[in-house]
Structure 1
Amino acid sequence: MKKLLQKLPSAGAGPLRIRKILEWGCACGLLLTIVLTAAAVRYQTVCARVCGDTLRLHILANSDTVEDQLLKLQVRDAVLEQVTAATQYAETKQQAVQTLRTAMPDLQRTAQRTLRHAGSSQQVQCRLEEIPFAARRYSGFWLPAGTYTALRIELGSAQGHNWFCVLYPALCVGSSEARYADTEENALVFGGYQVRFALLDTARSVWQKITD
């Protein structure tokens, strides 16, 4: 009888077990919150770095008429050829921006001359500025939403559909091997981005203990 009584659980064993399970559950929930918050912060940080390390081209047509849209494409082709030659040796976005600042008068003359040869009297305005862009997927890569430095070329009243691409890295106008210097930025832009933390392994370990 004595041995049988020793095998029986005490009256407080049930509540104590439930309390431990609740404590582990709360700890796991808190840890998961920390992991998800850290992942979100990390993701936003990488997105911000991509915005800061990217130089875009933004060409706005005078209107959406077929004529004005064709003029936009003619200006695009003429400017891209000149921009590519000017920025092909830039090793950073800052170098590319500085090169464009120097080349800006020539770029505007090129765009204006292209319009004149096409028989258009539209005026051209070229400038570098910070512009908010929505997230956009190109062929082969993706850019997050954010504020980017862009070479903005306005044709006439600049009320038509625009054309935009990436000057640095030369993702649209240069070699297909163009990449960011940072591994995480490349993973985000070209796919395969994963946030991995030591905390995630800890969370898995805690969950394993609970389920065991």
Structure 2
Amino acid sequence: MKAAIRLSEPSRRSNLRAAFEIGCCLALVLCVLLSAALAHYNAVCDEICAGTLRLHILANSDTLEDQLLKLSVRDAVLTRAAAVTQNASNKEEAVRAIRDALPSLEAAARQALRKAHSGQSVRCVVEESWFAPRDYGSFRLPGGEYTALRVELGSAAGHNWFCVLYPALCTGASGAQYETEEQNALVFGQYEVRFALLDSARALWRAVTE
């Protein structure tokens, strides 16, 4: 009986070692697959950033009056921007149209301010800016470097207003979307970093244990 027990101990240790080695292999596979999934997700985010033209309006201050002025300017600029970008078939064309229309965009903003009896200054410029991730309710955008039409009112020290000029997600344009299904899924809330890798890990576990 003692001999039988002594013979079973090495076998038990061998089984434990095999299980440990399998666990390590599975952990390595999982890390590799997770890294690949994250890299793919980041690539989709970069594609969204590269294909988006944003609108960034900075109010003069956080007073109620200045915040209301910001909204008036927003409406005027959106109307004009929608008109000049309606025929753009990609972000580059939209950016060129906005650059060409900067004087008329500033004029539209000034007219909105004059209508509200405000003498605030206006500055419109197209620039590259970093934006934090933002949820707009009906869609969301990842953080990253975007091209943006920046509209500064007065000292531009108040709360900002952000949206998207291309694709035309802020102007109610029918069918406005990104180029790929994955980009649209991420922006419009249907993106899943599906851990098919977990399915793979389970399949691998079954293969080595059955």
TM-score (norm 2): 0.88
Partner residue in 2 for 1:161: 159
Q: Matched residue of 2:126: which SS?
A: strand
CA RMSD of aligned residues (A): 2.3
Q: Matched residue of 1:20: which SS?
A: helix
**Superimposed CA distance per residue, residues 36-91 of structure 1 (whole angstroms, 9 cap, x where no aligned partner):** 11111111111111111111111111112222222211111111111101111111
Cα distance in 2 for residues equivalent to 1:202 and 1:75: 53
Identity fraction in percent: 56
Question: Which one has a bigger Cα radius of gyration?
Answer: 1
**Alpha-carbon contact 1:58-1:163 (below 8 Å) kept:** yes
Cα distance in 2 for residues equivalent to 1:198 and 1:62: 49
> Which runs of 5 or more residues in structure 1 are unaligned?
1-8
Partner residue in 2 for 1:128: 126
Partner residue in 2 for 1:30: 28
Partner residue in 2 for 1:74: 72
Q: Matched residue of 2:168: which SS?
A: coil
**Alpha-carbon contact 2:54-2:146 (below 8 Å) kept:** yes
Cα distance in 2 for residues equivalent to 1:18 and 1:63: 67
Pair 1:66–1:13, CA change in 2 (3 A): closer
Q: Which region of structure 1 is more displaced relative to structure 2, 157-166 or 197-206?
A: 197-206
Read off the aligned partner of 1:13 and give its amino acid letter: S
**Alpha-carbon contact 1:125-1:154 (below 8 Å) kept:** yes
Q: How does 1:1-212 map to 2 (within 5 A)?
A: 12-196=10-194, 200-212=198-210
**Alpha-carbon contact 1:84-1:174 (below 8 Å) kept:** no
**Superimposed CA distance per residue, residues 155-211 of structure 1 (whole angstroms, 9 cap, x where no aligned partner):** 111111221111111111132521111111111111121235875554222112345
C-alpha displacement at 1:30, in angstroms? 0.6
**Alpha-carbon contact 2:46-2:144 (below 8 Å) kept:** yes
C-alpha displacement at 1:10, in angstroms? 7.0
Q: Matched residue of 2:101: which SS?
A: helix
Cα distance in 2 for residues equivalent to 1:115 and 1:14: 82
**Alpha-carbon contact 1:21-1:210 (below 8 Å) kept:** no
C-alpha displacement at 1:118, in angstroms? 2.4
Alignment: residue pair count? 207
Cα distance in 1 for residues equivalent to 2:12 and 2:62: 74
Read off the aligned partner of 2:114 and give its amino acid letter: R
TM-score (norm 1): 0.88
Q: Matched residue of 1:150: which SS?
A: strand
